[in-house]
Homo-oligomer: A and B are copies of this chain.
Amino acid sequence: MDRFTALRVFRQVAEQGSFAEAGRKLGLSPPAISKNIAELEAHLGVRLINRTTRRMALTEEGKTYLEHVSRGLDALIEGETALSSARSSPVGTLRVSAPMTVALIRLSEAIPEFLSRHPDLRLELHLDDRRVDIIREGFDLAIRGYSNLEDSSLIARKLGVMSHVLCATPSYFATHGKPQTPSDLAKLDHIRFPHGPNADIWEFRKDGQIERIAVATRYSVSSSLAVRDALRAGFGVSLIPHQYVEKDLQEGRLETALDTWRTAEVTHYAVYPSRQHLAPKIRAFLDFLVRQFAYGRIADR
């Protein structure tokens, strides 16, 4: 028996005082009403409605049951309406995990405007270079710089690719010699960034040819911004996203090398649990991300 409709029928009948009228309101045939009431009574073992063909009245038990049923149905319906706003517009709290540096470079400036565009949205942005378990920790979305996450049942939306450049200060190159081939790097000091796929091996590609350099380093630091600081201080060379050192290159603080070689790339993904019934708040943030990274790509020029 479909209890839910039986209960709705019961309430409607009680309100209308008529089987036929209840049937009309609910879009059901009179036999359906009869059957629902009869089955509900059979299930409860209690007569709810005294009725002849012409008159009907709730029994005492029917009246008490009706009160509970009404409260129950109202709560359930209220629950649906509570969700209807979440289904149609971005509301609620959005929990997002993102790597520190990406967030600082790509997002943090634009977030205030994003939030002011969605006044009913609250954002919890957790900046963390860890690879978080978004289900366990309850994140709606995470940004990741890993490319090999297609296996999971999660959905990964590609946001953009960050090309890396090899660079150091002009003076460092002046004293240690500017490398002409990847193998020249062996003589230099490497600053290591432990996250990402290129932590311990730097790859350089040109014309189908691949050179791999083992990273030997005295300084490993898990933030690209700290890597940049070390570069600026003239400590050595490193691979770093072009974006992060754009200004330094323009203003001559840093200098690139091996420009003709293609090297490491980091592809950023937005990862979220499911494509089905994607909440508008997630949808909105996804769109925001895509826009931000697209804009960033132009700035990469």
A residues sitting closer than 8 Å to B (CB atoms) are: 2-5, 7, 41-42, 44-47, 50-53, 55-57, 59-61, 64-65, 67-69, 71-76, 78-80, 82-83, 86-87, 92-93, 133-136, 138, 140, 152-154, 273-274, 276-279
- For residue A138, which residue of chain B has the nearest CB? B57
Pairwise interchain contact B55-A68, C-beta atoms closer than 8 A: no
Q: Which residues on B sit within 8 Å (CB–CB) of A133?
A: 55
Pairwise interchain contact A68-B79, C-beta atoms closer than 8 A: yes
Given A60-B92, A82-B65, A45 contacting B136 (CB threshold 8 A) = no
Pairwise interchain contact A83-B61, C-beta atoms closer than 8 A: yes
Pairwise interchain contact B45-A87, C-beta atoms closer than 8 A: yes
Pairwise interchain contact B61-A69, C-beta atoms closer than 8 A: no
Q: How many whole Å from A38's CB to the nearest CB in chain B?
A: 8
With beta carbons under 8 angstroms apart, the residue of B46, B83, B92, B135 that contacts A65 is B83
- For residue A66, which residue of chain B has the nearest CB? B79
Given A61-B92, A75-B72, A78-B68, A135 contacting B274 (CB threshold 8 A) = no
